A and B are shown apart, each in its own frame.
Chain A
Amino acid sequence: AQKITQTQPGMFVQEKEAVTLDCTYDTSDPSYGLFWYKQPSSGEMIFLIYQGSYDQQNATEGRYSLNFQKARKSANLVISASQLGDSAMYFCAMREGSFGNEKLTFGTGTRLTIIP
């Protein structure tokens, strides 16, 4: 079974609209972390937001928020007021366990295109 599933290969969104990128995960470990990264065409992986499995509140970072639904094993990224510069690949990733494991497992990504 896939540990990280991103079901939207591509999305087109009008500028200034909000967009939700889906991510579901699969783990039996009670301690884990969920990450979202943005990868522009230049290749660099830009860290956007992080949610720990024990965090009580949904993470927010500026225009980015993570809709964390633990029971559903869902960690969707919400981008408010989208901008042209948001056009990029977006990856959801998970790190399992809390000690001695820095390995990230990535989803297949969603290519987001913002339309002016």
Chain B
Amino acid sequence: KAGVTQTPRYLIKTRGQQVTLSCSPISGHRSVSWYQQTPGQGLQFLFEYFSETQRNKGNFPGRFSGRQFSNSRSEMNVSTLELGDSALYLCASSLKTGEGNTEAFFGQGTRLTVV
């Protein structure tokens, strides 16, 4: 059974550009969440999608957006990149939701460097 797949693994972008990251959840998982990890701020929740709808959003500016497709794959977009957006972006998928707490599995992450 394939795990959570994130592409690309590494990205280098220039300030002001935009970037799109992709996450394919474990087959059958319908919830996808995104996190940003930086040395200074640690792991921070960006947003969560379930059945193509954003259900939860963290405290990030509107430059950070996302979407989920009917096959549960999700994309995250960051526009007008800033140096501070350099981070490891992690995606997590969960099987069940609304039925109590369940396990969440992460992908390998996309390491974004903004220069």
Q: Pick from B43, B50, B108, B109: contact of A102, CB below 8 A.
A: B50
Q: Mark B28-66, 1 if CB is under 8 A from A, else 0.
A: 000101010000001101001010000110100000000
Determine if B103 and A50 form an interchain contact, defined as CB atoms under 8 angstroms apart: yes
List residues of chain B with CB within 8 A of the CB of A106.
35, 42-43
List residues of chain B with CB within 8 A of the CB of A42.
108
CB distance from A100 to the nearest CB of B (A): 6
Query: Can you spell out 6 A-B residue pairs with CB atoms less than 8 angstroms apart?
Result: A33-B101, A99-B97, A102-B50, A103-B48, A104-B35, A109-B42
Q: Which residues of A contact B (CB under 8 A)?
A: 31-33, 35, 37, 42-47, 50, 52-53, 91, 93, 95, 98-106, 108-109
List residues of chain A with CB within 8 A of the CB of B56.
100-103
Closest to B106 in A: A45
Q: Pick from A35, A52, A108, A109: contact of B100, CB below 8 A.
A: A52
Q: Mark B72-112, 1 if CB is under 8 A from A, else 0.
A: 00000000000000001010101001111111111111010
The distance in angstroms between the C-alpha atoms of A72 and B90, with both chains bound, is: 31
Determine if B107 and A44 form an interchain contact, defined as CB atoms under 8 angstroms apart: yes
Number of A-B contacts (CB under 8 A): 76
Q: Which residues of B contact A (CB under 8 A)?
A: 31, 33, 35, 42-43, 45, 48, 50, 55-56, 58, 88, 90, 92, 94, 97-109, 111
List residues of chain B with CB within 8 A of the CB of A43.
88, 90, 108-109, 111
Q: Is the interface of B mostly helix, strand, loop or mixed?
A: strand
Determine if B101 and A98 form an interchain contact, defined as CB atoms under 8 angstroms apart: yes
The distance in angstroms between the C-alpha atoms of A50 and B96, with both chains bound, is: 14
The distance in angstroms between the C-alpha atoms of A103 and B44, with both chains bound, is: 10
Contact of A100 with B55 at beta-carbon distance under 8 Å, contacts A43-B109, A44-B107, A47-B106 already known: yes
Contact of A45 with B48 at beta-carbon distance under 8 Å, contacts A50-B101, A102-B97, A103-B56 already known: no
Q: Pick from A46, A52, A108: contact of B42, CB below 8 A.
A: A108
The distance in angstroms between the C-alpha atoms of A35 and B35, with both chains bound, is: 15
Q: Pick from A32, A105, A109: contact of B101, CB below 8 A.
A: A32
